[in-house]
Each structure stands twice: as structure tokens, then as C-alpha cells.
Amino acid sequence: MANFVLVLLASSFITAQAAELSATSHANPIRKVVTMLQNMAKKAEAEGKKQTELYDKFMCYCQTGRGDLEKSIADAKTKIPELESAIEASAGKKTQLEKDLDQHKADRAAAKTAMGEATAVRNKESASFKKEAAEDKAEAATLQKALTSLEGGLGAAFLQTKGAESLRKIVKNQDMDDGDRQTVLSFLSGAQGEAAPGTETIVGILKTMKEEMASGLAEAETAEKEAVATFDSLMGAKKKEVKAATRMTEEKLQRVGQLATEIETAKNELEDTSERLAEDSKMLSTLEKSCATKEEEFKKAQAVRQEELVALADTIKILNDDDALELFKKTLPGSSASFLQIPVSAQAVRNQALSFLQSARPRKHGSVQLDFIALALRGKKVGFDGVIKMIDELAGTLRAEQAADDKKKVYCGEEFDKSEDKKKSLERSISDTKSAIGKANEDIASLAEAIEKLTAGIKELDKSVAEATTQRKEENTEYTALMASDGTAKEVLKFAKNRLNKFYNPKLYKAPPKRELSEEDRITVNMGGTLAPTAAPGGIAGTGISFMQLESHHKKQDSNGVIKMIDLLIADLDKEMTEAEVSEKDSQADYEKAMKDAQAKRATDSKALAESQSEKADLEASLEELTAAKKSAKKELMATDKYISTLHSECDWLLQYFDVRKEARTGEIDAMVKAKAVLSGADYSFLQIGSSKARGFLEP
């Protein structure tokens, strides 16, 4: 560095001396050189200050960026366990809520089943009551007509009316004293004689029957009212149970849906946080390396600049020394000397061009091309043409570098703008996709619940249909058996009654139909032959009536009591068979209606189930697409962030130092142009140096 300064001084001294003599013959050339050196030191300090400011800004960015990244990493490390814990807790709550939800659904279904069973029983009881009440009222009306006729003296005429026949049926089926029944039946049969009952007796019996029937109807109505009240109370309680279970089900469903959304949101946030942690850690590592590199480069540049300042200071100190000034007074030409007609040598031209090139030397790093040109000028073996060619090549290289920097600056600006726009677009897209995913999850959960309800309803409906069918078959089997047994019992009782009448009431005895002879038997009889004895009838007691394991117990009573008892038994059987027929008919009608309603409901529910399943499948496919789109967008966003980080690493230094580099490169090109001009104009004529050329030569 000291040698460089001495060479500069030596070459500058002559040129500066000549320039100043052309303007004035009294200026001290050493003082001017010292001033120039001081200006060079100031400029180096200013450049160092500017570079320090840029370095401080960059290091501030390093500190701020590092702090932000470290804070982001710390927050992510704290947040990840919290999110994992929250997801686990929400999943546990969701599981418990789903169990509670199943219980509420079961409670509601049980209450509805109980309501349906109670309603069926109540409807059956109500129908039975209405039927019995109608029959009782009809019988009461018949009794009243009979009483009116008998009390009006129409006894004999009344016996010929339909009312008498209806009354006879009522008496047979009525629960009353057997003696009274026989008295009334005897009267209604038109029996005459001393033992025949009088009209007054019949009227009294009928009035008693009417009162008993009215009393029975009143009791039945009271019982019906009590049954209705009990049913209403039960239905009220069950409706409250259904309402409460429904409310709890809806609340739990809503909460389950909320928890599902919260869990999905937390999972997405956990995924984002984990990815952000990885990216921030990677960016922090890259930033630390970049900052360390910039710091090392700055320290090297500071060291080089400090060496330059020390060299300038040492040179100024040397030139300002009293002994040096005294020496220069003795050695330098006096004020009367003139340099106006000193011929310019080739070495002077080389020195002047070398000075221009030395002033263009970069402060931070040396230029290999400039070093080669300087060596060529010092070596004296290369002609001016070769040096000029080297200068042209270096100037072209510098211009190409500047053009590349200009292009790179435009490229960086455009890429930063495009990348930031793309990043914002991707962030909006991810946000919109998250919202769409949340909505799809809610819709899928709602459809899943609806599908579950419809499936359970169809299964329950099929189960109810199967149970109803089984019950109907059992009821029909019981009805068939009852009718068969009751019919057989009636035949046996009638046969027994007829046999008793043969002995005790010959007039009421009905002889069995005569034996129908076959053609063969008729031929035998006509020819005077004898028929084979008729085989004794089989079945119950030789009656010809058969029934499996039919048991009968008799007590010895008089004939009338036995016959009355048989009539009562037959009446009871008729009543039981009538009731069984009505009940069977009603049950069959109810079953057919229930089956028709069930079939319609199943078709409707099956259609709704198919539609819900199709819609759910479409939503799930859409959800997969949205999830894939979100994942793709997040990957693209990460790639964009990485690309932006790469752009920062690639472009930040260029953008920060663009003006400095351009200014330095422009200075180099300007100096080389001046050096080329000097070399191109070297014709060994008398020295014609202007003040402007001297300033251009000396000013760095």
C-alpha cells in the first residue's frame, strides 16, 4: 500500500506541478498533494460510513428476522402440545356424548313403543266398550218396547212380533236367575196352563232385567272413563319422556357436531403449526448462515478500508514533516521554472493512464483485469494498442455486468410482486377451502345422522311388521281352535239337551233323521230281507260328535235345572263365538291397514335413505377433493414461501448495494475511458495539460 502511494505521488507530482504552473507560478505543489490525499481519506471514510449504515440495516433485519422466527418457533413448540391435548380432550368428550346420545335415542324409542302399545290396547278396549254399550242400549230399547206392549195389554199380540223374538234372544244370553229365565222363555213360547206365568210376573222380571242392564251399563261407562283417564295420564307422561329425550338428543347432536368441527379445526391447525415450525426452523438456519456471511464480508471490507486510511495518514504525515518540506524546497524546481514546453514522453503517458486506472480500483475487492492492465503499462513491453484493447474488453465486461445487474433488479422486482400476489391468492384459497371443508363436514354429519335414523327406522318397521304378522297368525290360530272347540261343545250340549227332552219334554224332542237306505238296502227290504243292525254312533258318548279330550262333569239335578244349565252354556258359547268373530274381523282389518301403512312408510323411508346415501357419497367425494385441494394449495404456498426466501437470499444483497455497485462500476468505466483517451492521444508533442485534465487525473 505504501509503495502504491509513493508511485501515485511521484506520478501525480509532475502532472499536478505542470497543471498548477499553467495557472499560477507561486502555488506549493506538495501542499496540493497533501490536500488531495486528505480528500481521498475523507471520501474513503464517507464510503465506509455509508457501507456501515447499509450493514447496520442488514444486521437489523437479521436481528428482527431472527427474533420473529425464534418467537414463531417457540410459539409453535408451545402450541403443538396444547393442540394435541385439546384434540384428545375433545375426542373423549365426543365419545361420551355419542354414548349419551345412543341412550337418549333408546329411551325415546322405548317411550314411543310403550305409547304405541298402550294406544293399541286402548283402541281395542274402546271399540269393545262401544260395541257392548251399543248392544246393551239396543237390548234395553227392546226391553222397553216389550214392557210398553205388555203393560198396554198386548200380551198375546206381542208374542207374534219380532220384538218377542228379540226379547227371547236377550233372555237366553242375559246373566239372570235361571227360574226367571225359564219363566220368561215359557211366556214367550206361548205356553198355556195353570202353571203359565202371568203378565205381571213377566213385567216384573223384565223391569228387573232392565234395571240390571242399566246398572251394568253405568258400571261399564264408569270403568271406561277410568280407563280413558289412566290412558291419558300414561300418554302425558310418555310424551314428556319423548320430548325430554328428543331435546337431549338434539342438544347432544349439536354438541357432537360442534366437537367434530372443533377437532377437525384443531387437527388442521396442528398440521399448519407443525409445517410452519419446520419451515421457520429451516428459514432461521438459512438466515443465520446468510447473516454470518454478510458479517464476515463486512469485517474484511472494514479491515481493507482501515489499511487504506492508515496508508493515507502515514503518507500525509510524511509529506507534512518539516524535514520533508525542506528537502522538497531544495529538490523541486523553483517558481521561475516553466513546464509549458516539456516534451511528453511515452513513460509520462503510461504514468498518466496508470493513475486514471489506479483511481478506479474498487475499494472492496481488487479487479484482476485492472491489475493486468496496470502490469501491462508498467512492463513497457505491451504497446498502447494492446492496452487500449484490454481497456475496451474490460469496459465491455463492466457494461455487461451492469446490464445484467439492471436486468436482475427488474427480474427481482417482478418476481417479488408475482410471488407475493401468488402467496396472497393461495392464502385466500386455503381459507376458503377450510370453510368449505367445515361446511362439508357439518353436512356429512347431518346426513350420517339422518341415514342412521332412517336405517334404524326401517329395521324397527320391519321388526314391527314381522312381530305383527306372527301375532296375527297366532291370533288366527287361536280363533280357529276356539271356534272349532266351541262349535263342537255346542253340538254336544244340544245333543244332550235333546236327549233329556226325549224323556222329560217329549214335545221338544227332535228325532234324528231317518236312515237313508242305499239302493242295495232297498232291494233287500223289498224282497223281504232284514237289514243289518245300524252301527252304534261313535264320538262322544255315542253321539257321533268327536272332540279330543273333551271332559264333562255332571251333578244330579232335576231335568229343568239341567236343561237350563245346558241352555246357559250354549248361550255363553254363542256369545263367546260372536265376540271371537267380531274380534277376529277387527284384528284382521287392523292388521291389513297396518301392513298397508307400513309398506307405504317403508317405501318412503327407503327412497329418502337412498337419496341421503347418494348425497352423502357426493359430499364425501367433494370433501376428498377439497382436502386434496387444500393440501396441494398448502404445499404450493410452502413452495412459494421457500421461493420468496430464495429470492431474498438471491436479490436482497443486489437490491441493497445496487446503487453502490453501479456508482463504482460507472467510476471504473469513466476512468478507463479517460485512460484510453490519454493512450489514444499520445503523440509525443509538447505537454498541453489543462486544469480540468489534472483534476480528472487526481480525483478518484
**Could you report the per-residue pLDDT of 554-563, keeping only the tens digit for each?**
433 455 766 7
Q: What share of the chain is helix, strand, coil (3-state, %, to 5)?
A: 85, 0, 15
pLDDT score of 547:
44
The confidence score (pLDDT) of residue 464 equals: 85
Q: Which three cell numbers stand for residue 8?
A: 501515485
Q: DSSP states of 115-130 as a string?
A: HHHHHHHHHHHHHHHH
Nearest to 625 by CA among 432, 433, 444, 438: 433
What is the Cα–Cα distance from 33 to 17, expressed in whole angstroms? 10
Residues 410-454 have pLDDT tens digits of: 888 888 888 888 888 888 888 888 888 888 888 888 888 888 888
pTM metric for this prediction: 0.35
Q: How many residues does the chain have?
A: 700
What integer pLDDT is reported at residue 135 of this predicted model?
80
How far apart CA 648 and CA 290 sit, in angstroms, is 10
Residues of the chain whose pLDDT is less than 70?
Answer: 1-30, 32, 152-157, 159-161, 190-198, 323-387, 514-559, 561-562, 681-700
Place of cell 319422556: 241
Instruction: Kindly report the number of other CB atoms within 10 A of residue 695's CB atom.
Output: 12
Alpha-carbon span 91 to 95, nearest angstrom: 6
In the three-class reduction of DSSP (H, G, I as helix; E, B as strand; rest coil), residue 613 is classed as helix
Q: Which position has the grid cell 493486468? A: 372
Residue found by looking up cell 218396547 in the block: 145
Instruction: Quote the DSSP letter at residue 439.
Output: H
Q: What is the DSSP string of 15-42?
A: HHHHHHHHH-SS--HHHHHHHHHHHHHH
| Helical ranges in 152-198 per DSSP H | 155-158, 162-173, 178-188
Dist. CA 318–CA 331, nearest whole Å: 16
> How many other C-beta atoms lie within 10 A of the C-beta of residue 22?
17
Q: Are 489 and 573 in contact (CB under 8 A)?
A: yes
- 570's CB contacts (< 8 A; 6+ apart) are 490, 493, 494, 497
- CA pair distance 699, 619, nearest whole angstrom: 78
What HEC string does 230-297 produce? HHHHHHHHHHHHHHHHHHHHHHHHHHHHHHHHHHHHHHHHHHHHHHHHHHHHHHHHHHHHHHHHHHHH
Which of 513, 482, 477, 481 has the alpha carbon at shortest distance from 498? 513
Q: Which three cell numbers stand for residue 34?
A: 497533501
Q: Give the Cα separation of 107 and 113 in Å (integer).
A: 10
Task: Please provide the distance, in angstroms rounded to a whole number, between the alpha carbons at the two ends of the chain.
Answer: 16
Q: How many whole angstroms separate alpha carbon 299 and alpha carbon 308?
A: 14
DSSP string over 386-404: HHHHHHHHHHHHHHHHHHH
